[in-house]
Amino acid sequence: MLRQITDQVKRIDVNPFPGADILSVSQFDRPRLEWLFARALEMQDMVKRDGGSDLLRHKLMVALFYEPSTRTSSSFIAAMERLGGSTVPITQGVQYSSVSKGESLPDTVRTLEQYSDVIVLRHPEIGSARIAADYCRKPIINAGDGAGEHPTQALLDLFTIQKELGRIDKLRIAMVGDLKYGRTVHSLTRLLLQYDVELAFVSPELVRLPLDLMNEVRKSGISVEETYHVADVISWADVLYVTRVQKERFSDLSQYEEIKNFYEITPEIMAQAQEQMIVMHPLPRVGEIAYSVDNDPRAAYFRQMENGMYIRMAILAAVLGKL
């Protein structure tokens, strides 16, 4: 049954994204992923060698964040500046912008497009990036739309798996934690459906993977398991992708309290894992991975963060037509 995927992969040599919005992982098939990962590796080499370049000189990026962010906002800003571009961050300050006067998202992005070349948007509502893109002539990059998608995170996650383990096909990947509200899980799962992988979803009952996504997974023919226990997957997994419980998405906080400490990856648990396994986390962590795991060479979450900048450099340069 396992799909003859690898044979179908054709190489792309020309930038497929000039002027494009980046709204969903559905825009990325394997040739496009491979093209992007090759460009991200070039960005990495260039940063290590020269620190940066002038590729995006005189280009300006607005980072418009209606929800908190540390890594996504700062890595997009770093990416733009490493490529010689400039940034207008509206991150901590949304409450001081006209948004707080009741300005609509379409009006806000129509304003910002007058001054900039690309807008990176994080917003609490599913579908908000699509709405913004409908009104904006400049590329919109979805940096998280509520519990919907977080495509650039999934791209850097997949890039990390490829770099760390040298392949994606034939891997066993376990997603652990809040699979209902975790948008990074939704995006990464959809990307993985293009590969010959086995998946396991590990979560408390309250935050199982949404049914529509589980149906997509099952339809794809991938082998998939669901369980409540990390113990069921720990020695099986090549990748343990851990997530936090998304407190901000719960209307009933007592439910959050009930499950917030459901999992903690500790050195004792790591002792049961394969020697080549990697632990990933989109971060922030709020107790799901003990700090004592950080020095384990299999803890890939700091390297994962670094990869985020290279992927975002490649995406910015691509949508701005400079690759």
Secondary structure class of 108 (helix, strand, coil): helix
Chain residues 42-71 in contact with ligand ASP, contact rule CB under 6 A: none
Closest distance of CB 222 from ligand ASP, Å:
23
Closest distance of CB 102 from ligand ASP, Å:
25
Contact 230, 163 (CB under 8 A): no
Distance separating alpha carbons of residues 12 and 20, to the nearest angstrom: 16
Distance separating alpha carbons of residues 241 and 224, to the nearest angstrom: 15
Distance separating alpha carbons of residues 252 and 241, to the nearest angstrom: 26
**Closer to ligand ASP by Cβ: residue 222 or 280:** 280
**Closer to ligand ASP by Cβ: residue 244 or 260:** 244
**Strand positions, DSSP E, 172-229:** 172-176, 198-202, 223-227
- Of the listed 39, 59, 82, 122, which one is catalytic? 122
**Closer to ligand ASP by Cβ: residue 218 or 247:** 247
Give me the 126-165 binding string for ligand ASP, x by CB under 6 A, dash otherwise: ------------------x-----x---------------
152: annotated active-site residue: no
User: Site size for ligand ASP, by CB under 6 A?
Assistant: 8
Residue 282 sits in the site that holds ligand ASP (CB under 6 A): yes
Secondary structure element (H or E) that encloses residue 154, with its range: helix 151-165
Distance separating alpha carbons of residues 14 and 11, to the nearest angstrom: 9
Distance separating alpha carbons of residues 232 and 130, to the nearest angstrom: 38
150: annotated active-site residue: yes
Cα–Cα distance list, 292 to 14, 269, 296, 304, 320 (Å) = 44, 12, 8, 18, 42
What secondary structure letter does DSSP report for 186?
H
Residue number with the shortest CB distance to ligand ASP?
Answer: 282
Distance separating alpha carbons of residues 209 and 206, to the nearest angstrom: 9
- Of the listed 11, 49, 101, 219, which one is catalytic? 101
Distance separating alpha carbons of residues 116 and 59, to the nearest angstrom: 7
48: annotated active-site residue: no
The one-letter amino acid at 55: L
Give me the 207-246 binding string for ligand ASP, x by CB under 6 A, dash otherwise: ------------------------------------xx--
- Binding residue (CB under 6 A) for ligand ASP from 15, 184, 203, 304: 184
Residue 204 sits in the site that holds ligand ASP (CB under 6 A): no
Closest distance of CB 184 from ligand ASP, Å:
5
285: annotated active-site residue: no
170: annotated active-site residue: no
Closest distance of CB 166 from ligand ASP, Å:
26
Q: Establish whether the linkage from the previous residue to 284 is cis, with ω within 30° of 0.
A: yes
Secondary structure class of 136 (helix, strand, coil): coil
**Closer to ligand ASP by Cβ: residue 28 or 241:** 241
- Binding residue (CB under 6 A) for ligand ASP from 183, 186, 260, 312: 183
Give the active site residues. 71-72, 101, 122, 150
> Which residues of this chain interact with ligand ASP, rule CB under 6 A?
144, 150, 183-184, 243-244, 282-283
